[in-house]
Amino acid sequence: MSRTIVFIGDSITDCDRRSDPLGLGGGYVDMIASALRHRGDGASLVNTGVSGDRIEHLQARWQEDAIDRKPTVLSVYAGVNDTLVAFFQGRPTPPEVFEQRYADILARTAAAGVPHLVVVEPFYVEATQDNAPWREGNAFARADLDSKRPIIRTLAMRYGAAYVPLQEAVDAAVAERGPAVVAPDGVHPSSFGDRLIARLWLDAYEKLR
């Protein structure tokens, strides 16, 4: 019986999936699909990412867009928009609220009997592009997300999820190649960045077998 892998998250997962006939978008999800096909893995992939989503939005649509899809593997990648909205609109998601909301979706996943869960760590790169709208908030964004990443890692461990650590790998790639190669606007990965995410995700996926 083939696996169904559902990816849920924000714009990094969405990646214009609605304009893609396969519904996968042009980012890391599509790269994972290609890699799995090449390996002979017959998994069916579903992308339910929505650009702009924060953790509260995932919480609101979790049943319909995650649980009801009957995933064998459910992958969640979210968090950076909670930071960006705090900077731009002054509407923060305090760490304790973020933790409660994230724990809720993972608890609901466990209660629904989803066999495998993958949790992806959100990253932030100091934006260098002149047109990056959050460039002036680099220090704030990094500090805010730094307060949430340990929460995500701890919850992943608590619920037995495979964990995809991105920030350290992204930082290493930025140090070697520069931010413009990895994530030009600091938030959205380039093709290089998507390949990095896909590779690390696949490493975690292999451990589920």
Domain boundaries, the chain: 4-206
Exposed, middle or buried by CB within 10 Å (0-12, 13-18, 19+), for 35?
middle
Q: pLDDT per residue over 118-156, tens digit each? A: 999 999 998 776 666 666 777 888 899 999 999 999 999
Q: pLDDT per residue over 31-86, tens digit each? A: 999 999 999 999 999 999 999 999 999 999 999 999 999 999 999 999 999 998 88
Backbone phi, psi, residue 108, to 5°: -65, -35
Query: Which residues, in sequence order, are CB contacts of 208 under 8 Å at separation 6+?
Result: 73, 116, 118, 162
The answer to whether the pTM exceeds 0.75 is yes
**Cβ atoms 83, 124 nearer than 8 A:** yes
Q: pLDDT per residue over 155-189, tens digit each? A: 999 999 999 999 999 999 999 999 989 998 889 99
Mapped onto helix, strand or coil, the DSSP state of residue 163 is: strand
Query: Which residues, in sequence order, are CB contacts of 44 under 8 Å at separation 6+?
Result: 2, 3, 4, 5
Domain 4-206 superfamily per CATH: SGNH hydrolase (3.40.50.1110)
